[in-house]
Every structure is written in C-alpha cells, then in structure tokens.
C-alpha cells in the first residue's frame, strides 16, 4: 500500500491507472469505513482512500481540534482491507491559500436537517469532496449511507457539474444493539454507550408506526422527540422525509411513498456532549 501526501505524487502515480475507485474519509476508521473500502475495491483498477480532517466542515465550536487522529491504526486496517493508495494531504497541501472558491449546494437540499443545525457544513463537505475528486479523478466513489443527506448532496453535485464519477452509497453498519457505527461513538462514556441504542430504536419505532398506517407525521415526530428528551437526550430532529428530496411528505402521498419505498426517517440528537446521527429507509 502506498502512502501519498502530495497532489503531484498522487497524479503521477494514478497516471498508470484507468479507473480509480475512491473512498474519502476523515480517518479514525471503523468497520463501517472498511466495509466501504471493500465495496469499492472491485469497482476500479486501483483503490484510493483519503484521510483528511476537513476544517471547512466544522463550526468554530465543534470538535475539529479533538477529532480523533489514529494514523497508524488506520493505515494497518486499510492495508488489510485491500486499499492500494492512502492519500493523506496536509492542510497546507490541500488548502495552500484560503479556499476562496467554494461549492454552495442548493438551500432546499443543504440548509435543512444537518445544514440547518450545522450552518455551512455542506459547503465545507462539497468543497473538499470536489477538491479531492479533482486530485484523485476517480471513476467511482463510495460514501456511507449513514450520512444520508451528505450522500444526496454529493450525488447531486456530481450530477449537476457533470462529473464523470459514479457516486455510490454503502450500507450503514451497526453494533449488535443497533447503534450505527460512527467515529463519534468513541466519545460516549459507558452509560452513554448503553443509552445510545435508543436513537436507532426511536427510528425503528417511527418506521414501524408508518408501516402500521400512522399518517399524522407531525405528531409522530413530536412524540419521538419527546421520548428521547425524556430520556435525557437533546434531539435536533427526528423526522419523516421523502427519500428523493428530503422534504416532508404530504399526508395524501404517504401511502404511495410507503408502497414504493419512498420514505426515510432521519435523526440527530446529542447525548451529553456527543452528537449522533442515524437514519432508516422505510
Ligand atoms: O463523511 C466524511 O467522513 C466526510 O464528510 C468526508 C466525506 C470525508 C468529507 O470530509
């Protein structure tokens, strides 16, 4: 496995290949990331994984400085998972001057849900992904479905900029109790980790209620928020949305959306100081 830290070296090396497959990450890799790596491996003639903690997608009060950097363990795990190239640019390499040009996704997609609670997040994500795409020039790129809205933003970006890149989602991996794997799970204390299962359970409950014919989406969302709040969580949102545009479904279209697997329930909530997100397609 090659470790490459500069764009020029990456370009020179990848010049030998026709169809790079790419998995962008911020490191601190867990089994969920490695599943994306294994999914991407057979899709290209060389597999590139980037490790770059992207300052642009963190708000000033967020965990950029403390975001876990686990370089040695990440490289070992990537080598075992079949990665060919780790691209790990420094901030100076990727952003040698302040990144004045940025990618602004449309508000109706990027200022809701995560974008509402983390203003500028999707500008930061889209900008770094566009830049990483320019460096790696992959034919196919794989992103986790746990970051459901992020995957949608990147897919639309690739489509609207006519990037010759197939953007694919990889399924969310879960712990035995149902908690979605995430680098931020490492922040949870033992009691918080035991409690954390209630986020995915709340989503399962919402999904089941929809399947059982509940049509008052607003009430379902309020009850889910109240349930988690009563357990000591600070939820940002627990919502039912249409899969294709992440907007709230109208009561009249619920049955049709259910029949055609057109719904998703999404959640973000803080447990202590850790913010967790999750989603379930219905
Ligand atoms: O999902 C992530 O880890 C990050 O948002 C990404 C896509 C690597 C961009 O920094």
Question: Would you list the DSSP string of 75-128?
Answer: HHHHHHHT-SEEE---HHHH-SS---S-----HHHHSSTHHHHSTTHHHHHHHH
Is the beta carbon of 209 within 6 A of some atom in ligand 1? no
DSSP state of 66: T
- Residues found in the chain: 282
Grouping H, G, I as helix, E, B as strand and the rest as coil, residue 31 is: helix
Report CA-CA distances (Å) from 102 to 114, 120, 153, 188, 247.
18, 11, 14, 33, 25
Tokens describing residue 168: 């694919």
Output the pLDDT for position 41: 98
Contact partners, residue 270, CB within 8 Å, separation at least 6: 233, 234, 235, 236, 276
The topology under which CATH files domain 183-276 is 3.30.1300
Which residue has its alpha carbon closest to ligand 1 atom 9? 125
Contact partners, residue 281, CB within 8 Å, separation at least 6: 243, 261, 263, 264
33 annotated active-site = yes
Is the beta carbon of 34 within 6 A of some atom in ligand 1? no
| Distance in Å, CA 125 to ligand 1 centroid | 6
Which residue has its alpha carbon closest to ligand 1 atom 8? 25
Which residue has its alpha carbon closest to ligand 1 atom 6? 25
Please report, for the chain, the start and end positions of each structural domain, with discontinuous segments joined by +.
Answer: 2-170, 183-276
The predicted model scores a pTM of 0.97
Grouping H, G, I as helix, E, B as strand and the rest as coil, residue 49 is: strand
Is the beta carbon of 124 within 6 A of some atom in ligand 1? no
Cα-trace Rg, the chain: 19
Does 104 carry a binding-site annotation? no
Around Cβ 156, how many Cβ atoms within 10 Å? Answer: 17
* Cα 164 from Cα 133, distance rounded (Å): 10
Is the beta carbon of 25 within 6 A of some atom in ligand 1? yes
Which residue has its alpha carbon closest to ligand 1 atom 1? 25
**Residue 184 buriedness (CB in 10 A; 0-12 / 13-18 / 19+):** middle
| Distance in Å, CA 216 to ligand 1 centroid | 34
Output the pLDDT for position 252: 92
Does 245 carry a binding-site annotation? no
| pLDDT tens, residue by residue, 140-153 | 999 999 999 999 99
Output the pLDDT for position 201: 98
| Distance in Å, CA 129 to ligand 1 centroid | 8
Contact partners, residue 92, CB within 8 Å, separation at least 6: none
| pLDDT tens, residue by residue, 176-228 | 999 999 999 999 999 999 999 999 999 999 999 999 999 999 999 999 999 99
Which residue has its alpha carbon closest to ligand 1 atom 5? 125
Burial 3-13 (b: 16+ CB within 10 A, else e): ebeebeebeeb
Helices 121-136 and 148-160, packing angle to 10 deg? 60
Q: Which residues pair with 263 in a beta bridge?
A: 242
Is the beta carbon of 126 within 6 A of some atom in ligand 1? no
Q: Could you tell me which CATH class the domain 2-170 is placed in?
A: alpha beta
Q: Which of 33, 61, 104, 244 is catalytic?
A: 33
CB 245 within 8 A of CB 112: no
Taking the CA of residue 50 as reference, the ligand 1 atom at the shortest distance is 8
- Residues (pLDDT < 70) of the chain are none
């Amino acid at each position: 496995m090659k470790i490459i830290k500069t764009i020029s070296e990456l370009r020179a090396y990848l010049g030998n290949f026709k169809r790079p497959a790419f998995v962008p990450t911020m490191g601190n890799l867990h089994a969920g990331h490695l599943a994306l790596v294994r999914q991407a491996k057979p899709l290209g003639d060389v597999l590139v994984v980037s490790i770059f903690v992207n300052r642009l997608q963190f708000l000033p009060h967020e965990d950029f400085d403390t975001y876990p950097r686990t370089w040695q363990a990440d490289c070992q795990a990537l080598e075992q998972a079949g990665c060919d190239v780790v691209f790990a640019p420094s901030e100076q390499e990727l952003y040698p001057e302040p990144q004045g040009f940025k990618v602004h996704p449309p508000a109706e997609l990027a200022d809701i849900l995560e974008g509402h609670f983390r203003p500028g997040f999707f500008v930061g994500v889209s900008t770094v992904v566009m830049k990483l795409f320019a460096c790696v020039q992959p034919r196919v790129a794989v992103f986790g479905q746990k970051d459901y809205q992020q995957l949608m933003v990147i897919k639309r970006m690739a489509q609207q900029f006519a990037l010759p890149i197939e953007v694919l989602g990889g399924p969310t991996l879960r712990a035995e109790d149902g908690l979605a794997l995430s680098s931020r799970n490492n922040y949870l204390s033992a009691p918080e980790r035991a409690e954390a299962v209630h986020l995915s359970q709340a989503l399962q409950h919402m999904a089941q209620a929809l399947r059982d014919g509940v049509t008052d989406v607003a009430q379902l969302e309020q009850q889910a928020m109240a349930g988690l709040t009563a357990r000591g969580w600070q939820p940002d949102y627990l919502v039912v949305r249409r899969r294709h545009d992440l907007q709230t479904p109208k009561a009249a279209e619920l049955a049709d959306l259910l029949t055609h697997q057109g719904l998703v329930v999404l959640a973000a909530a803080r447990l202590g100081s850790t913010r967790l997100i999750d989603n379930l397609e219905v």
